[in-house]
Amino acid sequence: MSVFSDIPQAPPVPVFKLTADFREDGHPQKVNLGVGAYRTDDCQPWVLPVVKKVEQLIVEDASLNHEYLPILGLPEFRSAAAKVALGDDSAAIRENRVGGVQALGGTGALKLGAEFLRRWYNGVNNTATPVYVSAPTWENHNGVFADAGFKDIRPYHYWDAAKRGLDLTGLLDDLEKAPERSVFVLHACAHNPTGTDPTPDEWTQIAEVMKRRNLFVFFDSAYQGFASGSLEKDAWAIRFFVSQGFELFVAQSFSKNFGLYNERVGNLTVVARDNDNLSRILSQMEKIVRTMWSNPPSQGARIVSRTLNTPELFAEWKGNVKTMADRVLLMRDQLKAKLQALGTPGTWDHITQQIGMFSFTGLNPNQVAFMIREKHVYLMASGRINMCGLTSKNIDYVAQSIHEAVTKVQ
């Protein structure tokens, strides 16, 4: 008998199981609206032209080698990542109280931040600090903080299903009632899975309560630039909170906005009270990284760093990102228009009011099951769809399928 014979079979990760089911489906009109990755109008992955250009520059650069990077990562990548999040004119950067740690994607940045907070925030090794995540949220948020040792992970109100928008009243009430020094994971833009973001005025109200209640801000920024096409607009919340004097973390991912999904390029940007605090924070993060991945990989970080630090490449990248964002916005407009033309019951304004890669359609689990079983349109059980999976060739079929699901299934 194996020493591992008592290990139970773990359930599959839903979004990857959905993709596997899609691949096995032989239906000629099948559509995958599940996995969170950009697709062209031909439903193909897109290697950004600027990425191809920079990869060639790296190949031809005889000065590069495969020596270990520093534990905290490629310095010029870390500083450029912080600058793109906080802005060129960031007072916090000028005051030398911003640092960064290169991580294995946005997930790695979240993991590092969670491990640090459990060890050193609100006392030493305090696993009882409440961690709040939005209801709903990206499912990995719960797992990352639970695996870091936090025992009290709570939902905060976010999605109002009745009005298909933000439940600001519920959110503010949860902030008021949360114990002081609780950690709140906030989506910087393009909320996953709802696609619903607070307005600047609503962010201002959220910040006022969080500051007064002494709550810790941990931004997850996975879609900067990709959401609206504007780096500045998508970073508005982060920059506002920093301007209000918050010490905070920002988990950054460059998977979506650079198309570098399998390179695992992330950064944990730290905004501290002053340089002395920053130095001590980074010293402890270095110790955590040493036992998790020891040193980060270089290729993806070099691509991002070279792009962000070279003005003409940076301008080209912003154009590439806008190309992706504009296609998603176009698909939103067209899907809403087609559902309205079909006379599909209910309101569909939320499709264009939401932003980013995902849309929370409002379809219930029975309707989702009908979509998959009868129409071969694959989406998450929550009703979340990836707008990038829509193309000029399949959008009529998807709209008709949604119409049938809504009219035939309760």
By annotation, the residues acting in catalysis are 138, 220, 256
Do the beta carbons of residue 33 and residue 377 sit within 8 Å?
A: yes
CA 199 to chain centre: 18
Question: Is the link from the previous residue into 179 a cis peptide, with omega within 30 of 0?
Answer: no
- Count CA atoms closer than 13 A to 339's CA, side-chain side: 25
Instruction: Choose among 35, 388, 382, 82: nearest CA to 219.
Output: 82
Instruction: Let me know the angle formed at the C-alpha of 246 by 212 and 186, rounded to the nearest 5 degrees.
Output: 85
User: CA of 233: how far to CAs of 63, 172, 228, 320, in Å?
Assistant: 37, 23, 7, 17
Please state, in angstroms and rounded to a whole number, the distance separating the CA atoms of residues 73 and 230: 27
Cα–Cα distance between 353 and 355 in angstroms, integer? 7
Q: Give the CA distances from residue 135 to residues 63, 117, 139, 158, 236, in Å, rounded to whole numbers and listed in that order.
A: 48, 22, 10, 6, 22
Angle at 389 between CA 385 and CA 394, to 5 degrees: 110
| CA-CA-CA-CA torsion sign (143, 145, 148, 150) | negative
Q: Which residues of 307-342 are buried (b: 16+ CB within 10 A; e: fewer)?
A: bbeeeebbebbbebbbebbebbbebbebbbebbeeb
Distance CA(211)–CA(86), nearest Å, equals 19
Residue 193: other Cβ atoms inside 10 A? 25
How far is residue 39's CA from residue 387's CA, in Å, rounded to a whole number? 9
